[in-house]
Amino acid sequence: MSESSHIKLFIPGPIEVSEKTYKAMCRPMIGHRSGDFKKLYGGMQPRLQTLFGTNRPVFLSTSSAWGVMEGAIRNLTQKKVLNGMCGAFSDKWFDVSKRCGKDAEALQVEWGQAITPDLIREKLSQGGFDTFTLIHNETSCGVRNPLPDIAAVMREFPEVMFIVDSVSSFSTQPIPMDELGIDVLLTGSQKALALPPGLALFSVSERAMARAATQKDRGYYFDFVEFAKNQEQDMTPSTPCISLIYALESKLDDIFTEGVEARHARHAALNAKVHDWVKARGFEFFAPEGYRSLSLTCVKNNREIDIAEWVKRLREKHRIAIDGGYGKIKGKTFRLSNMGDETPESIDTLLAALDDTLA
Ligand SMILES: *Cc1c(COP(=O)(O)O)cnc(C)c1O
């Protein structure tokens, strides 16, 4: 990769990857059943468990997040799944549930709105459900669903497994899996963790593991029981993306050197910086106050600028990539990421480039 061809990514995934991370990936291969691998994987467990807020093992899947999102449905839904839907990724989870041959029901709110605890209670009270899927931070439209309040409602329905996607929020704020009673917490590598794509991380509660063990047709590649069995020996079911696991180890060093709480505070501060810019420039937010993502900002194009043209100018003049809106809100919104290794200086550079090209 030559310097001049480098476009810095402020799109909300994949995001910018550091030189340090790329270097970590260049270490020589090791056997995935070797002592070296077990040391690598086992050695990361305590820090991964801290980030997940769990005493349960953390599994590594060589797949993007969708592998585990589909896997969670295949492992856990026996009766009927309720899919909380408020944007592109959460809408798709409903479609994926049906493609797995499951009985699925939509809990749809308008894109940009949050899924509220009351809506969930109302649906689950109808009965018949044994799984609920929630995307904590809906990356497509910048909505952050009220996870602690939703978790409180889930405790009223102990027969329903609570599956949470934290792909774009993981490690940017606390998500204490055990305390919240989350049954499956999953994330991917290329968003909040600032790694290249190709790795998914997840943890499964004891009761969800017990459910999975009684489930037929779990398949093989995403079989939770296989993951658990291999995990006992610090291994993965099949040959994992070892280079990405090196990268993850390096990223854990970064995270724990900075400090987990300092990392959370940094994300909040950078997000606030972007929010100040949005307000000062007369733009509006796509999500309502109180439900806005802390790791990215989805901005409403109320100034009716030509977003596609602007994105192009930014790329050509400043070698910066931002997102011009996802799916049906393309051109009506734009998104700015503050995930990963960003700093006050790098966000200032982004905002100055936005100003320079907005005129
Ligand atoms: C990007 C994203 C996904 C899908 O991730 P893949 O890596 O493409 O499988 C799922 N959920 C959320 C919230 C995302 O942002």
Instruction: Please work out whether the CB of residue 89 comes within 6 Å of at least one atom of ligand 1.
Output: yes
Instruction: Please work out whether the CB of residue 188 comes within 6 Å of at least one atom of ligand 1.
Output: yes
Instruction: Please work out whether the CB of residue 135 comes within 6 Å of at least one atom of ligand 1.
Output: yes
- Decide if pLDDT at 2 tops 60: no
CA of 328 to the centre of ligand 1 (A): 17
Q: For residues 29 and 326, what is the distance between their CA atoms, to the nearest angstrom?
A: 37
126 pLDDT band, cuts 50/70/90, is: very high
Q: Are strands 104-108 and 131-135 parallel, antiparallel or unpaired?
A: unpaired
User: Using an 8 Å Cβ cutoff, are 218 and 236 in contact?
Assistant: no
User: Using an 8 Å Cβ cutoff, are 284 and 304 in contact?
Assistant: no
Mean pLDDT value across residues 166-172: 98
Mean pLDDT value across residues 137-143: 98
Instruction: Please work out whether the CB of residue 64 comes within 6 Å of at least one atom of ligand 1.
Output: yes
Specify the residue for token string 């790694």.
195
CA of 35 to the centre of ligand 1 (A): 32
Q: Where in the chain is the domain with CATH 3.40.640.10?
A: 19-256
pLDDT confidence of residue 5: 86
Instruction: Please work out whether the CB of residue 337 comes within 6 Å of at least one atom of ligand 1.
Output: no
Q: Where in the chain is the domain with CATH 3.90.1150.10?
A: 3-16+259-358
Instruction: Please work out whether the CB of residue 65 comes within 6 Å of at least one atom of ligand 1.
Output: yes
- Decide if pLDDT at 132 tops 80: yes
Mean pLDDT value across residues 284-309: 98
Q: CA separation (Å) from 292 to 23, 120, 180, 201, 223?
A: 34, 19, 20, 24, 34
359 pLDDT band, cuts 50/70/90, is: confident
- Decide if pLDDT at 102 tops 60: yes
Q: Hey, is 63 helix, strand or coil?
A: coil
Q: For residues 136 and 149, what is the distance between their CA atoms, to the nearest angstrom?
A: 12
∠ CA(179), CA(180), CA(185), 5° rounding? 105
**pTM check: above 0.85:** yes
- Decide if pLDDT at 4 tops 80: no
Instruction: Please work out whether the CB of residue 167 comes within 6 Å of at least one atom of ligand 1.
Output: yes
Residues 43-84 have pLDDT tens digits of: 999 999 999 999 999 999 999 999 999 999 999 999 999 999
Instruction: Please work out whether the CB of residue 162 comes within 6 Å of at least one atom of ligand 1.
Output: no
Q: Are strands 161-165 and 131-135 parallel, antiparallel or unpaired?
A: parallel
Instruction: Please work out whether the CB of residue 87 comes within 6 Å of at least one atom of ligand 1.
Output: no
- Decide if pLDDT at 12 tops 90: yes
DSSP H/E element including 85: strand 81-85
Q: Which of 70, 183, 76, 81 is nearest to 128 (CA)?
A: 81
Specify the residue for token string 């100034």.
303
CA of 188 to the centre of ligand 1 (A): 7
Pick from 64, 73, 115 the residue to mutate for probing ligand 1's pocket: most ligand atoms within 8 Å of its CB: 64
Question: Residue 9 forms beta bridges with which residues?
Answer: 321
Mean pLDDT value across residues 95-116: 98
99 pLDDT band, cuts 50/70/90, is: very high
**Percent of the chain having pLDDT more than 70?**
99
CA of 34 to the centre of ligand 1 (A): 31
Amino acid residing at 98:
K
Pick from 66, 96, 167, 190 the residue to mutate for probing ligand 1's pocket: most ligand atoms within 8 Å of its CB: 167
- CATH 3.30.1640.10 is right for the domain spanning 3-16+259-358: no
CA of 113 to the centre of ligand 1 (A): 19
Mean pLDDT value across residues 77-104: 98
pLDDT confidence of residue 3: 61
Instruction: Please work out whether the CB of residue 70 comes within 6 Å of at least one atom of ligand 1.
Output: no
The encoded tokens of residue 207 equal 């009761």
- Decide if pLDDT at 1 tops 60: no
CATH class of the structural domain 19-256: alpha beta
Cis peptide bond upstream of 174, omega within 30: no
Ligand 1, atom 7: nearest CA belongs to which residue? Answer: 64
CA of 90 to the centre of ligand 1 (A): 9
DSSP-assigned letters across all residues of 173-241:
B---HHHHT-SEEEEESSSTT---SS-EEEEE-HHHHHHHHT-S---STT-HHHHHHHHTTT--SS---
Q: For residues 189 and 13, what is the distance between their CA atoms, to the nearest angstrom?
A: 9
Q: Hey, is 79 helix, strand or coil?
A: coil
Instruction: Please work out whether the CB of residue 298 comes within 6 Å of at least one atom of ligand 1.
Output: no
